[in-house]
Amino acid sequence: MPFIDIVSSTGRVRFHYTISSPLCANAEVIEPGLPILLFFHALAYHTIFHSQFSDPILRRFNLVTFDLRWHGDTESDAVPTKYGQEEAAEDVIAFITALQLPPCHFVALDLGSIIALQTAVMIPDQVLSLFIMSHTCLEEVSLVSTSVFNAIT
């Protein structure tokens, strides 16, 4: 699986990524003329989408996944003092730019949904659609947190 180096305002990142196309589960390049699905994984589950990539029946498109910063085989500089959704989206934008990806369909799960949505806000022309699963809230509603606290105490 290949790597690509980027530099963002929070430092250097060496992204580990996978491209799967109808012709190859571990392709080196995008298959021209086919839609691209860019996958944003959940917190601590950087390989959650990989099993689908080996199934030729499911590989009808270009499937691209990458390990977010501090996940899987992606490497980066020391932890910056500030790293939130905007900085994570900046990393993704640099990744998309470095790979020269055309506009993509974003598929995101859990923590990846926050980053995918922020990326879409920052580069809307790069996003053809958003498919969000198990969206993580940026802030928990007080009624929910109070109810959970009361239930466990």
Cα separation, 58 vs 17, in Å, equals: 19
What CATH number does residue 12 fall under? 3.40.50.1820
pLDDT class of 136 with cuts at 50, 70, 90: low
Residue 25: partners with Cβ closer than 8 Å, 6 or more residues away: 53, 54, 56, 59
Residue 6: partners with Cβ closer than 8 Å, 6 or more residues away: 12, 13, 15, 91, 94, 95, 97, 98
Number of domains the chain is built from: 1
pLDDT at 54 over 50: yes
Cα separation, 146 vs 104, in Å, equals: 39
pLDDT at 45 over 50: no
Rounded to the nearest integer, the mean pLDDT of the chain is 81
Domain interval for residue 101: 3-152
Q: Tell me if the pTM is above 0.85.
A: no
pLDDT class of 118 with cuts at 50, 70, 90: very high
